[in-house]
Amino acid sequence: MKREISYLHAINEALDEALKEDPAVFLMGEDIGIYGGGFGATRGLERKYGRERVRSTPISESAITGVAVGAAMTGLRPVIELQFSDFITIAMDQLVNQAAKIHYMYDGKFSVPLVMRMAAGAGTGAAAQHSQSLENWMAHIPGLKVVQPATPSDAKGLLHAAIADNNPVIFYEHKLCYSMVEEVPAGKYVIPLGKAEVKASGTDVTVIATGVMVHRALAAAVQLRHQGISVEVVDPRTLVPLDEKTILNSVRKTKRVMIVTEAVKNSGFGAELAAIIAESEIGLTLLTPIKRLGGAFTPIPCAQELETKAIPQEGTIVTTIMEMFK
């Protein structure tokens, strides 16, 4: 029987299944108990599993992350929630100088199997300190894995993979995706980290999009089809590890590529993707230069009109692709 659930429901379902299956899994975060977390992802789980396994914490991201690192080193599998991804900055020492490096510095004798879940991105008028996309920064740190699911089914399967992984995983959930609904399998399933997906097949241009930009790229592809342009949309799903093979195979076919991220374009992951393509054997066969769209180099404005201008939109994608064919 087919069923459709929201992205938020898919996250809750994956957490429920992981808690049920593995007694080493436990959750930590601000207000994740009775309140169900800042966006409701953990609703009902404290009542089902108790306060030992669903732990509401003080307002201290550094403490939450530090406790999670220590717990992971002892064999537990903490899944921590930061209400907004912006607050990762408060936990950078514990995350970057400890969690990411312990396995390497202890010669593999310790692992740090923790997952840090965060609501990310703009589009809700939450202003500069609650709307950032900082995945570029996290992808730069050796020892961290970075996951960015765009759809409910991907969110569930990738969260299961992240919880099972023996490395620290940063798990970005875009706030605008929470209400999106699609068919999601019942029961546990795993989508391996490091496996991209072609969300729409095309022949004329490849659009590599991350997070909520996947949906805007798909909408743009529908518009461009009426203009006689066939767009292939590739979603990396995980930035680290990155599925270069799927990306390069798509670009090899279309010989045109545009990269779309919400994160600030300057020094961003889009530049890394562009470099990978340019340095490959495909680089000299491209029919047009690689195009990048990303967030403006500015803090995210609160005003809706300005916020919209600061982030790539469907119309921006359409216009940029059409320019590639002039």
Question: Which residue, among 77, 65, 67, 73, has the nearest Cα to 109 in the 3D structure?
Answer: 73
List, for residues 247-306, the tens digit of each pLDDT value.
Answer: 999 999 999 999 999 999 999 999 999 999 999 999 999 999 999 999 999 999 999 999
pLDDT of 56 above 90: yes
CA dihedral 287, 260, 179, 192 (to 10 degrees): 80
pLDDT band at 139 (very low <50, low <70, confident <90, very high): very high
Element (H, E) at 293: strand 291-295
Q: CB 74: neighbour CB atoms within 10 A?
A: 8
Question: Is there a contact between 26 and 72 (Cβ–Cβ < 8 Å)?
Answer: no
Q: Can you give the pTM of this predicted structure?
A: 0.96
Q: Six-digit token pair at 189?
A: 């399933």
Task: Indicate which residues carry an active-site annotation.
Answer: 130
* Residue 179 phi, psi (nearest 5): -90, -5
List, for residues 194-222, the tens digit of each pLDDT value.
Answer: 999 999 999 999 999 999 999 999 999 99
List, for residues 155-168, the tens digit of each pLDDT value.
Answer: 999 999 999 999 99
SS3 for 34-53 is: CCCCCCCCCCCHHHHHCCCC
In the chain, the domains with their CATH numbers are: 4-183 (3.40.50.970), 197-324 (3.40.50.920)
Question: Is there a contact between 184 and 6 (Cβ–Cβ < 8 Å)?
Answer: no
The DSSP secondary structure of 81-120, one letter per residue, reads EESSGGGGGGGHIIIIIIITTHHHHTTTS-----EEEEEE
pLDDT of 326 above 70: yes
pLDDT band at 1 (very low <50, low <70, confident <90, very high): low
pLDDT for res 270: 96
Q: Six-digit token pair at 222?
A: 């529908």
pLDDT of 85 above 60: yes
C-alpha neighbours within 13 Å on the C-beta side of residue 241: 13
Question: Which residue, among 36, 30, 28, 97, has the nearest Cα to 68 in the 3D structure?
Answer: 28
